[in-house]
Structure 1
Amino acid sequence: MLANLLQEFAAPLTKEQVTKVKDALGDLSLEQVNWLSGYLAGVAATGAAAGIKDIRSVIESNGAISQTTTNALAQSASSEAASAKIATILYGSQTGNARGIAEQVYQSLQTENVEAELVDMAEFNPKHLKKLQRVFLVVSTHGEGEPPDDAIELHEFVTGKKAPKLDHLEFSVLALGDSSYEFFCQTGKDFDLAFERAGATRLLERVDCDVDYQQLSESWRDELLALAKSSGESNSNVDSASQVAQKPHLSVVTKSTEFNKFNPLLAEVVDVVTITSNQSTKKTYHIEIDLGDSGVTYLPGDALGVWPLNRSELVEEVLNHFAWSGEEVISTPKGDVSLRSGLTEVYELTQVPPSFVKWLAEKINDENLVAMTQSASELKELLAVSQIPDLLRRSDSAEHRHSLLTVQPQEFVEQLRAITPRLYSIASSQKEVDEEVHLTVGLVSADHNGIERSGAASDYLSQLESGEEVRVYIEPNKHFKLPADPAQPIIMIGAGTGIAPFRGFIQEREHSESPAGESWLFFGNQHFADDFLYQLEWQGYLKSGALSKIDLAFSRDQQEKVYVQHKLRSHAQEVYQWIQNGAHIYLCGDKDRLGKSVEQTLIEIISEQGLLTEEQAKQELLNLKKLGRYQKDVY
């Protein structure tokens, strides 16, 4: 058994060394192996050359193993020097938050000379878990308790029937989520439980973070750092580069930028233009922002993070409800500010945390509201149609309003979430627009109890005028990128504002120094006359040859609704042929309304055209994803 395991893990050893170590291990008991592994770990951690050189005499003096064994180990031990507890930071990120935290943890460990490796779950082979010693997982939860795309394979592996025993491994989990959803931080909980069931040792209790995660994540990072330092695991004498080279499946990331989520660039707005007709029910804007001489760069497929401000009318509704002037001073994570400034710049008013509903229900003694907080489905429905002022209106009766008279501004804002940035797929290529960045923004609006309400960021951006400034940063997306070889064909599938990254893709290819391969766009929206975003540009790209083919699905232009998945199916044979010819597939748009149906259609096309079962077709699509030939940017 030991010999068989050795073959799998013998990457640093030559074939001859593997043979010798196999021979040596053949007659060892489990007790002898445990003793030997501890001894070698100590030798490697100190880097004591003399210890390796004299291994024969030390082992023989302890009488633990035979002469044959010492001969083999004396040769194999000199082939690898590795630290005792290398920390492997695994992250699964959907919007970049988990990656950002993981990078901070990695940099902190590096600063303290603690040997660490940073790995995207999308690039990690799950079978290599058995090789690791100490794992720190940072993972978000997407939608209703689902793992982010990058974490799907590892999640299925550790929670499935083939999950390995990990009793040699130590771990800790930082989970990111949104408490507005029923299955808050579910993916992190899944990983934490799976590692425990596999026999791994939990170093720190799991930490569950809501959308304003910074304080909790920093505390978790500091605890990990203190743990590593107290364990005496500084590896200043170990050659880090050589260790990483011995583990080719790991990809270490050290990149950092001057401007980021918590240090955004103050950029000037160039233009805001409506690109849908007045009759459109889905107002959409094209927004151009000047990055100036900031040095900020991006690639097509990346996202722009935008820090919004709350609409002044929304702020005044809250102030008037409590009869506050707005000049009251409150303490915030950004320091002391006026209440009006805090409600404008610091706290969310358009998104309601469940904790706020519970607080309000208790304050005004509203039995109906209390009952809603105890039903996950009812609470979810309430949050979907409510902003902070909408819920405050529930206390308009004299009895309820009296209950809020004692509430002070500080107590009130402590029930709110901090504003978080919104991410928008970038709709441009710097090869085309130089120091600008373009966005395609759909105005999110809905009727909230008889009042038209808009999303904080889309409303904020749509109201900006030329010359105004906005706080932004680039959120890289390495899993939504054009092929390295411009000659590779691409299939782009999007609906509504999901068209944004594909505009950047075609701009990039049009300015490519090498001849670009064929490109095929599938685009859907409601009406051709009202909602054909960038119509003239696409027609121009077709004429110039930058775009090879376009298929359009306008769902409301005929009695029977037509969507992009229907267009894909109508071209099933040709789509499959493109895939067989090496095409890369890109999908961008709403996860539930577009993503699931398009993915199922692709599976059906692969199954039917390739004469495969549905399970085989799913595996084929998964293989394309692993190869980077099927990439999604869904939200």
Structure 2
Amino acid sequence: MSENMRLVLAILLGVGWCTWVAIIWWLKRLKQSKQDANATHIVAYASQTGQARLKAQAFFESLTDAALVPLNHLTLDKLQSASQVDFFVSTYGDGEPPDNGRSFLRLFSKISGNSLQSLKYSVTAFGDSHYPEFCAFGKQVFTELNKCGANALQPLICIDASQVQTQDKNFIADFIDVELLESTQLNPGSPFSGLYLLRLSAANLVWQAGDILEVIPSHPVADNELPSPRSYSIASADSRFVENNEIKLIVRLLTKDDGQFGLASGFLTQSCQIGDQIKVKVRANPACQLKSEQAPLLLIGAGSGLAGLIGHIEQRYYFDDAGPVWLIYGDRDPEFDCTMQAELEWWQQQGVLTRVDRVFSRAKLPCSKATPIYVHDVLIKHADEVCQFIDKGADVYVCGSLEGMGKSVDQALAKILGEDGKNDLLVSERYHRDLY
């Protein structure tokens, strides 16, 4: 057989194998879709950062003939035809539903009387008892279902995220050791709290831009229990693109009123030395994973929220056909807090960033010409351009503090797009919020 014939045969075999794999994948998806469509036992989740989704998935895998769906995909027809629905829902901020659960409560306005009498249900609610409206969304879902005549299989279960039982030996088994390679303060000399860039070796980790890294501070707390893990937005592109599989974090050093450092931020930025081992695991965060690098992308954030934004900027660098990226980023002092300015300028030169609006909330007045301004001010000022950008199919990605920045941006988008327009972004899964 000639060399050319061997090459042609190899190509045909390769194409045939790829086609076979594609057919198997399609048939599997088709079978799963039919199962989901016909299932009368549904496991539904509403999750902002992934905890409720993971618990729902673990419960779903223990069942047969059930369907697993995000709460915003649970239509009125599916709800009314279901025999049992097990809800796993988190509460966001001060009693808010997660983004993929906001539309669900509107269904109850379309349900009359006790029309859900044939439905059995359970609700497992996740929240943080540090907030006054602990598990508020889960409680609301439980109450509304009861009003419509549905039959609770058990009382409402509330799980407090601030009371993770890390003394369970099985808990730590999911974490692996990574090495601290670099720790650099990004705002040296700043009168405000330090912001640090950390690089970690992560040869055994797999992640996507938008995912979360959970970190366990090694210091024991009461009764020698391990501290609860702290969550940090990953400031890196997908692991498949990252050289040496290094993972980056951006960490704000928390200083308490008594002068003590925050447990996790103090451990990561002050206690850890280069070469030290840190226990971590990746938590997938589908709500903040983008479906396409070709769609336009509006990135909005402030302070340490740059981490989530950097991950997606870096991701676009690896795609020649990536869509335009508009970055609106806020920090404090223009003299000391021009965080990662050189990197952002380089990405602009590479054509990855097509527009950057950088603002500072605590510029010195009147000596400085700079005027204090926030990221939501930029949105309002350029409302027409924001609308045009979103009308072109842009994803909107917000990362940073929920209080202040996150809520102000949400209000600004509602003002610019209208509540219906903002909700359309949520329903189409183009509004991504990585807020803490």
Please say if residues 179 and 278 of structure 2, whose CA atoms lie closer than 8 Å, have aligned partners that are also in contact. Answer: yes
SS where residue 167 of structure 1 aligns? coil
Deviations 1:253-286 (A, max 9, x none): xxxxxx9875111111111111112233121110
Residue 509 of structure 1: aligned partner: 316
For 1:162, which of 102, 110, 134 is the aligned residue?
110
For 2:212, which of 299, 303, 306 is the aligned residue?
303
Please say if residues 39 and 67 of structure 2, whose CA atoms lie closer than 8 Å, have aligned partners that are also in contact. Answer: no
Residue 563 of structure 1: aligned partner: 374
Tell me the CA shift for residue 163 of structure 1.
3.6
What letter is aligned with 1:162?
A: K
Q: Which of the two has greater helix per residue? A: 1
Equivalences for residues 181-260 of structure 1 within 5 A:
181-211=131-161
Tell me the CA shift for residue 577 of structure 1.
1.3
In the alignment, the residues of structure 2 paired with residue 261 and residue 553 of structure 1 have an alpha-carbon distance, to the nearest angstrom, of 41
Residue 261 of structure 2: aligned partner: 454
Equivalences for residues 613-628 of structure 1 within 5 A:
617-628=418-429
Deviations 1:103-152 (A, max 9, x none): 2211222xxxx322211214333452112110111112222222222222
Please say if residues 85 and 133 of structure 1, whose CA atoms lie closer than 8 Å, have aligned partners that are also in contact. Answer: no
TM-score when scaled to structure 2? 0.83
In the alignment, the residues of structure 2 paired with residue 624 and residue 154 of structure 1 have an alpha-carbon distance, to the nearest angstrom, of 15
SS where residue 565 of structure 1 aligns? helix
Could you say which structure has the larger radius of gyration? 1
Equivalences for residues 113-512 of structure 1 within 5 A:
114-158=64-108, 161-163=109-111, 165-211=115-161, 263-292=174-203, 294=204, 296-310=205-219, 341=220, 343=222, 346=225, 419-429=227-237, 430=239, 431-447=241-257, 451-463=258-270, 464-484=272-292, 486-512=293-319
2:334 equivalent to 1:524:
no
In the alignment, the residues of structure 1 paired with residue 35 and residue 60 of structure 2 have an alpha-carbon distance, to the nearest angstrom, of 21
Deviations 1:202-261 (A, max 9, x none): 11122222226677xx9xxxxxxxxxxxxxxxxxxxxxxxxxxxxxxxxxxxxxxxx987
Please say if residues 261 and 305 of structure 1, whose CA atoms lie closer than 8 Å, have aligned partners that are also in contact. Answer: no
Deviations 1:450-476 (A, max 9, x none): x21222111111121111111111111
SS where residue 562 of structure 1 aligns? coil
Q: 1:134 to 1:85 in 2, by over 3 A?
A: farther
In the alignment, the residues of structure 2 paired with residue 432 and residue 210 of structure 1 have an alpha-carbon distance, to the nearest angstrom, of 35
In the alignment, the residues of structure 2 paired with residue 208 and residue 541 of structure 1 have an alpha-carbon distance, to the nearest angstrom, of 45
What letter is aligned with 1:582?
A: G
Q: 1:307 to 1:126 in 2, by over 3 A?
A: farther
Please say if residues 100 and 427 of structure 2, whose CA atoms lie closer than 8 Å, have aligned partners that are also in contact. Answer: no
Tell me the CA shift for residue 171 of structure 1.
0.6
Residue 330 of structure 1: aligned partner: none
Q: 1:107 to 1:420 in 2, by over 3 A?
A: same
Deviations 1:165-196 (A, max 9, x none): 21110011112222233222222211111111
In the alignment, the residues of structure 1 paired with residue 45 and residue 218 of structure 2 have an alpha-carbon distance, to the nearest angstrom, of 30
In the alignment, the residues of structure 1 paired with residue 162 and residue 324 of structure 2 have an alpha-carbon distance, to the nearest angstrom, of 43
For 2:391, which of 576, 580, 594 is the aligned residue?
580
In the alignment, the residues of structure 2 paired with residue 126 and residue 434 of structure 1 have an alpha-carbon distance, to the nearest angstrom, of 48
2:47 equivalent to 1:93:
yes
Tell me the CA shift for residue 585 of structure 1.
1.3
**How large is the Cα RMSD of the aligned pairs?**
2.5
What letter is aligned with 1:423?
A: S
Residue 550 of structure 1: aligned partner: 356
Deviations 1:346-384 (A, max 9, x none): 26xxxxxxxxxxxxxxxxxxxxxxxxxxxxxxxxxxxxx
Please say if residues 88 and 117 of structure 1, whose CA atoms lie closer than 8 Å, have aligned partners that are also in contact. Answer: yes
SS where residue 118 of structure 2 aligns? coil
What letter is aligned with 2:180?
A: V
Please say if residues 483 and 584 of structure 1, whose CA atoms lie closer than 8 Å, have aligned partners that are also in contact. Answer: no
What letter is aligned with 1:497?
A: S
SS where residue 100 of structure 1 aligns? helix
Please say if residues 100 and 426 of structure 2, whose CA atoms lie closer than 8 Å, have aligned partners that are also in contact. Answer: no
Q: 1:566 to 1:166 in 2, by over 3 A?
A: same
Please say if residues 522 and 550 of structure 1, whose CA atoms lie closer than 8 Å, have aligned partners that are also in contact. Answer: yes
Residue 3 of structure 2: aligned partner: none
* Structure 2 unaligned spans of 5+: 1-33, 366-370
Tell me the CA shift for residue 301 of structure 1.
0.7
Q: 1:479 to 1:436 in 2, by over 3 A?
A: same
Percentage identity across aligned positions? 31
In the alignment, the residues of structure 1 paired with residue 311 and residue 46 of structure 2 have an alpha-carbon distance, to the nearest angstrom, of 26
Between 425-434 and 617-626, report the one with greater CA deviation: 425-434
Q: Which of the two has greater strand per residue? A: 2
Tell me the CA shift for residue 628 of structure 1.
2.1
In the alignment, the residues of structure 1 paired with residue 127 and residue 139 of structure 2 have an alpha-carbon distance, to the nearest angstrom, of 11
Please say if residues 286 and 440 of structure 1, whose CA atoms lie closer than 8 Å, have aligned partners that are also in contact. Answer: yes
Deviations 1:497-522 (A, max 9, x none): 1111221112111112x421211100
Aligned length: 390
Tell me the CA shift for residue 446 of structure 1.
2.5
In the alignment, the residues of structure 1 paired with residue 132 and residue 419 of structure 2 have an alpha-carbon distance, to the nearest angstrom, of 28
SS where residue 300 of structure 1 aligns? coil
In the alignment, the residues of structure 2 paired with residue 488 and residue 507 of structure 1 have an alpha-carbon distance, to the nearest angstrom, of 15
In the alignment, the residues of structure 2 paired with residue 260 and residue 493 of structure 1 have an alpha-carbon distance, to the nearest angstrom, of 34
SS where residue 429 of structure 2 aligns? coil
Residue 632 of structure 1: aligned partner: 433
Deviations 1:5-60 (A, max 9, x none): xxxxxxxxxxxxxxxxxxxxxxxxxxxxxxxxxxxxxxxxxxxxxxxxxxxxxxxx
Tell me the CA shift for residue 100 of structure 1.
1.6
Q: 1:87 to 1:538 in 2, by over 3 A?
A: same
In the alignment, the residues of structure 2 paired with residue 212 and residue 561 of structure 1 have an alpha-carbon distance, to the nearest angstrom, of 35
What letter is aligned with 1:520?
A: W
In the alignment, the residues of structure 2 paired with residue 108 and residue 494 of structure 1 have an alpha-carbon distance, to the nearest angstrom, of 39
Please say if residues 85 and 134 of structure 1, whose CA atoms lie closer than 8 Å, have aligned partners that are also in contact. Answer: no
Deviations 1:512-535 (A, max 9, x none): 2x4212111000010122112211
Residue 603 of structure 1: aligned partner: 414
Please say if residues 72 and 100 of structure 2, whose CA atoms lie closer than 8 Å, have aligned partners that are also in contact. Answer: yes
Please say if residues 300 and 505 of structure 1, whose CA atoms lie closer than 8 Å, have aligned partners that are also in contact. Answer: yes
In the alignment, the residues of structure 2 paired with residue 503 and residue 83 of structure 1 have an alpha-carbon distance, to the nearest angstrom, of 38
